Structure 1
Amino acid sequence: MLIVRFVPPGAERPAVGVRAADTVTELPVGSVGELLGLPLADLRAALATTGAVHAAADVALLPPVDQRMEVWAAGVTYQRSREARITESERAADVYDLVYDAQRPELFFKSASWRVTGDGESVSVRTDSEIDVPEPELGLVVNRHAEVVGYTVVNDMSSRTIEGVNPLYLPQAKIYLGGCAVGPGVRPVWEVADPYALTIELTIHRDGEVVWSGATSTSLLRRGFDELVAYLFRAEVFPDGVVLATGTALVPDLPFTLAAGDRVAITVGEVGTLTSTVVSGKEPLAWLATGRERRGDTR
């Protein structure tokens, strides 16, 4: 099953439900954030209380983040990521070596819920950057009690140009309108036997052709999920839960860059596939500030 956020047919407000096969069944909760306020055992019980049933083809999926949820990310958690950061860095390559081997992981804020796009929507490349890439990642869905309750797919868009000049520019390279996509839903933690054995695939299409593709596995992670979550919650609270992207091992070689019109597909085994169309600049995604292009999305 997938826990999904969606707009039911004819409805004015989003709903939360469970997708199984070709149907979506509503849950009696107002938001994903409300679900993530529950302890894991109570959340699992809540999924058994159901309401109206819809054909999956008749609902509009939304990103599975809302309310006061945030998206955070971990960096340099795979050997490939360390190598890519060192290659692109102009002045501070040793920073990435140090954080890879350090006790404390790199964790950074990625997005507020209202800036997140979902499956079938768009991501953006910055107009002041020459090289921009998607970063396909397994996302941990964590409740307010610091328990991992599920998994999702994250596209942690990144400006390699900006971060490469100076690691202190990381926020500008990572946090911008159109820089984060999450979806299509949340796979409950109890349905994934081994989260350290999941395939992650990235495919980039341009003009109908595949221009880049690659695959990796979460088995190559340098750090454990419990460790990352523990550090995230050391000095923070997340009353409506949080999505924590766990880092990437798929980075296109320089000088590859995304272009407007590209289609990015990220698949995480047992979790799902997240697709996005690339646009340039913030103007095509200005609607995120109002949600008007999403029927009923009033986050």
Structure 2
Amino acid sequence: MRYVRYGQPGAEKPGVLDAAGRVRDLSGVVADLSGAVLGDLPQVDPETLPLVDGNPRLGVPVAGIGKLVCIGLNYRDHAEEAGMAIPVEPIVFMKALSALSGPNDPVSIPRNSLKSDWEVELGVVIGKHAKYVKAEDALDYVAGYTIVNDVSERAFQTERGGQWTKGKSCDTFGPVGPWLVSRDDVADPQNLSLELDLNGQKAQRGNTSSMIFTVAQIIEHLSEMMSLHPGDVIATGTPPGVGMGMKPPLFLKAGDVMELRIEGLGSQRQEVQQDA
């Protein structure tokens, strides 16, 4: 099933999509798509639920996110275009929760930004507490999958004397959605095509089959370091085609439009703005 949260920022309600792609109100079944609900997502006939009028804004499809954990350089050809060594185990960093935004909300370039960039990524939503999980069992801990745009300010990330988090955590730099697609409706998370277009032109193309570390391996690794809780989101890395890898490099500016797609998980669209 395809779960959504719809409405204005801070006032989103849970919903599901029906066969025609219309939003149906799920708030009479669950209070929100968070916590224990993610470990046992409601299986209902969308046609029995109230139809939501119009074309509502979609928010982040998961509420109560505790951690947004990201994996760096997880596609060999992306590491090569970045001029960085192939990692021998997952590179892990955090993205501030204040970066979260809806899948079609504007992305704002911060003041003093020189090198804001894009990254389409498979997002994994944890459904139940995970600690010391083995890879062969790891997917049992997944609630579902979504799209993450790991927007990144490269100068903040690598040239300002600190952790990658500096360049990853600017406000609006974490669009998530549009849907949470339940685990059972994704036959193989390691065989999904990913795409990102900038201003209608091809930028990123890839497939999750090219990940260095699979979703299951990532969950095993992270759960050795920290507990994963229901609602935690893992961004699993990006394929080649980011701006810093182009020759010459190309970075975001006000007026640009990013369009992202992952097979079976829907699409995102963000217009780029400049902070005042």
TM-score between the two structures when normalised by the length of structure 2? 0.83
Q: Unaligned stretches of 5+ in structure 1?
A: 87-95, 284-299
Alpha-carbon distance between aligned partners in 1 of 2:261 and 2:23, rounded to the nearest angstrom: 21
CA deviation vs aligned residue, 1:111-156 (integer Å, no higher than 9, x gap):
31x5411122111223323221110001111123231121101000
Alpha-carbon distance between aligned partners in 1 of 2:54 and 2:80, rounded to the nearest angstrom: 42
Alpha-carbon distance between aligned partners in 1 of 2:153 and 2:99, rounded to the nearest angstrom: 17
CA deviation vs aligned residue, 1:168-224 (integer Å, no higher than 9, x gap):
44111111112110110111111111221111111011xxxx355331111111111
Q: Does the residue aligned with 2:124 lie in a helix, a strand or coil?
A: strand
Post-superposition shift, 1:246? 0.6
Q: How does 1:1-299 map to 2 (within 5 A)?
A: 1-7=1-7, 13-20=11-18, 21-27=20-26, 28-38=29-39, 42-43=40-41, 46-48=42-44, 52-55=49-52, 57-86=54-83, 96-97=84-85, 100-102=86-88, 104-112=89-97, 115-146=99-130, 147-165=141-159, 168-205=162-199, 210-250=200-240, 251-252=242-243, 253=246, 254-281=248-275
Distance 1:58 1:127, change over 3 A: closer
Distance 1:68 1:182, change over 3 A: closer
Alpha-carbon distance between aligned partners in 2 of 1:56 and 1:109, rounded to the nearest angstrom: 37
**Partner AA of 2:167 in structure 1:** A
Mean CA deviation greater in 179-188 or 49-58? 49-58
Alpha-carbon distance between aligned partners in 2 of 1:26 and 1:145, rounded to the nearest angstrom: 27
Q: Is the 8 A contact 1:63 1:182 kept in 2?
A: yes
Alpha-carbon distance between aligned partners in 2 of 1:142 and 1:239, rounded to the nearest angstrom: 6
Q: Does the residue aligned with 2:269 lie in a helix, a strand or coil?
A: strand
Following TM superposition, where does structure 1 have runs of at least 4 consecutive aligned residues deviating by more than 4 angstroms? Answer: none
Alpha-carbon distance between aligned partners in 1 of 2:191 and 2:24, rounded to the nearest angstrom: 29
Q: Higher strand share goes to which structure? A: 1
Q: Does the residue aligned with 1:163 lie in a helix, a strand or coil?
A: helix
Percentage of identical aligned residues: 26
Distance 1:101 1:14, change over 3 A: closer
Alpha-carbon distance between aligned partners in 2 of 1:14 and 1:192, rounded to the nearest angstrom: 25
Q: Unaligned stretches of 5+ in structure 2?
A: 131-140
Alpha-carbon distance between aligned partners in 1 of 2:51 and 2:5, rounded to the nearest angstrom: 13
Q: Does the residue aligned with 1:61 lie in a helix, a strand or coil?
A: coil
Q: Does the residue aligned with 2:35 lie in a helix, a strand or coil?
A: helix
Residue 289 of structure 1 corresponds to none
Q: Does the residue aligned with 2:249 lie in a helix, a strand or coil?
A: coil
CA deviation vs aligned residue, 1:217-248 (integer Å, no higher than 9, x gap):
11111111111112222343344421111100
Q: Higher helix share goes to which structure? A: 1
Distance 1:150 1:275, change over 3 A: same
Q: Does the residue aligned with 2:177 lie in a helix, a strand or coil?
A: strand
Mean CA deviation greater in 23-32 or 262-271? 23-32
Q: Does the residue aligned with 2:101 lie in a helix, a strand or coil?
A: coil
Post-superposition shift, 1:56? 6.5
Post-superposition shift, 1:55? 4.2
TM-score between the two structures when normalised by the length of structure 1? 0.77
**Partner AA of 1:124 in structure 2:** S
Mean CA deviation greater in 158-167 or 140-149? 158-167
